[in-house]
Structure 1
Amino acid sequence: MSQHPTPSLADGIADAIGFVGGALAGFWLGQWLGMDIFAPGYGTPALVGIALVGLGGGLGLHAARRWQTSRRNKPSKD
């Protein structure tokens, strides 16, 4: 049986910040490219914009988890 560290409040906050930050980056990239996710209907530009938001959120979450792992594996300065 493998042991996983218990997630802490700091881990949850880091995940949330990474996800929201990445999603906002994807949203603003879509806006810059003219992909409005709030456009009426589900045209190609709206769907591409939605995909950019999802991709950005996933990448932001992944980056936050890699950062958390690197902090856990850093040797202490005791």
Structure 2
Amino acid sequence: MKNNPLIEGLSDAIGFVGGALLGFWLGRLLGLDVFAQGYGAASIGGIVLVGVGGGLGLQAARRWRNRNQDKAD
């Protein structure tokens, strides 16, 4: 089955944004504020969690897409 660019782009975007939001809310639960003024430890920690969450969400979306593509083939 040929890759559909629309499905690929949408699944990547949803995975990234979903993961970033999970990282953001995890940071909030831990007291890390991404939007704090300056670049203190809490702000940097929150930014790191958002980035890691976005990356993990993107990887999860790609694995999901590849697994579903293998089933279709």
Normalising by the smaller structure, the TM-score range is: over 0.9
1:30-69 to structure 2, matched below 5 A, reads: 30-69=27-66
Query: Shift of the alpha carbon at 1:34?
Result: 0.3
Tell me the distance in 1 between the aligned counterparts of 2:22 and 2:72. Answer: 32
After superposition, the Cα gap between the structure-2 partners of 1:75 and 1:16, relative to the gap in structure 1 and judged at 3 Å, is closer
The AA in structure 1 aligned to 2:19 is: G
Work out whether 1:26 is the aligned partner of 2:32: no
5+ residue gaps in structure 2? none
After superposition, the Cα gap between the structure-2 partners of 1:15 and 1:47, relative to the gap in structure 1 and judged at 3 Å, is same
Secondary structure of the structure 2 residue equivalent to 1:74: helix
What number of residue pairs does the alignment pair up? 72
Please tell me the root mean square deviation across aligned C-alpha atoms, in Å. Answer: 1.4
Secondary structure of the structure 1 residue equivalent to 2:67: helix
Query: Shift of the alpha carbon at 1:75?
Result: 4.7
| Runs of 4+, deviation exceeding 2 Å | none
5+ residue gaps in structure 1? none
Once the two structures are overlaid, the 10-residue window that deviates more, 5-14 or 59-68, is 5-14
- Higher CA-based Rg: 1
Greater helix fraction, Structure 1 or Structure 2: 2
